[in-house]
Amino acid sequence: MEGLYLVTDRELCGGRSIEWVVSRAVSGGVRYVQLREKDTSTRAFIDLAKRVKEILLPLDIPLIINDRVDVALAAGADGVHVGQDDMPYETARRILGPSFLIGLSVETWEDVVSAQDLDVDYLGVSPVFETPTKTDTKGMWGLEGLARIRAYSRHPLVGIGGLNAANAEAVVLAGADCLAVVSAICADADPFRAARDLDEIIRGALRKRPVRPAGAR
């Protein structure tokens, strides 16, 4: 896993549809899309996920659902992202099977250590920086925390929280394989251009990273 990862936020999209923002963002270089809906009915979430899946399918971009394993199954999504207050990872893996993409948020060092023996597809390092779009976190990791996780963990790392064009290079160089952004794309007047600019920075930074020794993750 490498590249730009979009997490949607309905409010930040303003009057624009999530489908439109996703379409523009994937044209600009987003490689993974996660739908996060906290206040919508199950039916509406499934319907949205199906519509977004139709956009992503021809582009071979995985659709990941935040928290809701039921919605992921119903909509034919490719993955789920679970946090520490969501379904336990092992339970989600048992229900979804070995080929489903499952990401897990790590908010404490204990979470990082517990995840080491799990066959998660990535760790969501949350939050890298303080962010107004998620308020239930336990303090930020910072670049130092991210580097410490990178040195320890065998899993791909998806950084999330306060990421934007100004800090994207530093976050990749500190060890993130993917950068998950919310407001940097959803709240931008031009999600295509925002994604394209971020993608360019991330690709450039990935090329600057030393090649990791085989087996390091």
Residues that are catalytic: 36, 105, 134
Residue 4: which H helix or E strand, with range? Answer: strand 3-7
H helices present in 116-214, as ranges: 142-152, 168-174, 183-186, 191-208
**Residues engaged in binding a copy of itself (CB under 8 A):** 41-44, 46, 67-71, 73-74, 84-88, 91-92, 95
User: Looking at beta carbons only, is 71 or 186 nearer to a copy of itself?
Assistant: 71
The CA dihedral of 126, 157, 76, 34, to the nearest 10 degrees, is 40
Q: Of 72 and 125, which has the nearer Cβ to a copy of itself?
A: 72
Distance CA 177, CA 37 (A): 25
The nearest distance, CB 117 to a copy of itself, in angstroms, is: 20
Q: Cβ(97)–Cβ(113) under 8 Å?
A: no
